[in-house]
Structure 1
Amino acid sequence: MKTIFNKTNIDIDTSPFISASQNKGSFTKNTLSKITLAVAFTSLMSVSAFSVAGSPSNKQAPELKPSAEVIQNQETKNNVVGLSTGIVFGGVVAGPLGAAIAGLFGLFIADDINDENRLSITKKELQSTNLQLVALQQNYQDSIASANQQIVAMDTAMTQAIAQVPPTIEANIQFKTASFLVEDHYKSQLDGLASELRKNSKLTIELSGFADQRGESTYNQVLSQQRAKAVKDYLISQFVNQNQVFTQSFGESELVSKSDSFEGNFFDRRVLLKVRNKKAEMTAANN
């Protein structure tokens, strides 16, 4: 048998489905509203709690660099505050789902706060380093200035000392019989003299050669000249300007002792050194 349904005779009641759908949409909107409200409260309360936790009332002095342990403890505390605040307000306002979402959001806020704290500490360390570099640079400049002042003072003292040198200083270098070689024990004295001549171009030295009365006078004249030249050559080898060195020879014409004895002849075999200060001579002449 064939059954024919008439479309117009069937009356289906759809109101229960519509009502369920509307209730579901209303539930979703309410839940989202509550979760949003919980997140907002979590943000406000978390930031307030972080501000208190990071305030200067902590044991760590604000001007000192916190230790790694203090920083770790502070970050852990921030994470706990953010998570617990979110869970509490989310659970109260929007139930378990709100607690989970608001708790995660609280952790995100704690992460942001921790990043800001690290950045702040890094900036303070950079500022402290810059201040230390400025202080070191200032100390270096002060040291240079002090060293320059000492150098100027030493130069001034040296100039004054040279100005007080007498117009003429005399000394003798003795020689062996018939020799014009400068003995080693005189070279250290000549080295000191050469150093002063190099330092002060106003100084000059006059070298006068002598011989004792033994032997021919012509030979003694040449020998006395060779002795003066030997001393001059040594001074020039020590980089003394040759224009500061003058020589002359007298042979046996100006004897220290008239007696022909060992001691008398010893004092005649010599080169007389006369160091002159031109500036001092001019000052003395003006006085």
Structure 2
Amino acid sequence: MKKQLIAATMITTMMVSNVSWANDTDTTDEREHTEELVGLSSGILLGAVIGGPVGAIIGAFTGTFIGKSVGDDAELTVQKQQLVDQEQQLAQTNEQLMALNAKQQSLEQVSEKYYQLQSNLTEQQANQLQTLNELTIGMNVQFKTGSSHIEPLFEQQLDNVAYMMNLSPELTIDLTGYADRRGDNDFNQALSEQRLAEVTQYLVIQGIARDRLHGQAYGATSPMHQEQNFENDFFDRRVTLKLMAPGAELAAN
């Protein structure tokens, strides 16, 4: 028994010495070989104690598997830790992705609401323009012969125009004054200018800035009918309103 221990110890010592020398000279790539040697020496020592030289040989093979198992366990532990680290990184990435998705959904909702409000605003502006256009289409403030006084009927219409103009500050109005062909040219020109001034002043009193009202008087130079008579002259004694929108013009005569 004592001889068996001595022999096993000598063999083991030689192997351990080889392992130590290998650790000093080799890289970590020799780890698996070292583990096998450790297992082999452990098996020899165990086999020699139990079964003598034959047991030592059997133990050597058994120890090789023991060393292999030890190495596999260590590698498995490292792999498990790497897997845990990767799972943690994946969880963090998933949380970040969910946060980005939430922000994206919120942004899409805000964007959708903005476009909806923009669409509603555009529709309201279009409705206002349509309403004002309807008010001014065919709107001619008519006057009695030789007069520049605005009749009550046309005052109500001008009130409606002023109201819509106040709702749409970007709009302007062109006004043109006329007179019929009775009387001389100087008189008719002066009369058309006076009529234009009366309508302009009325709108200013209703709150419309003067720089939004652009006017020109033409006297009797633009009759609506080629034939002059009492009935046709009535249509020539007028101030015509024409709505002007930014970038566009809506006729109103």
- State TM-score, norm by structure 1: 0.42
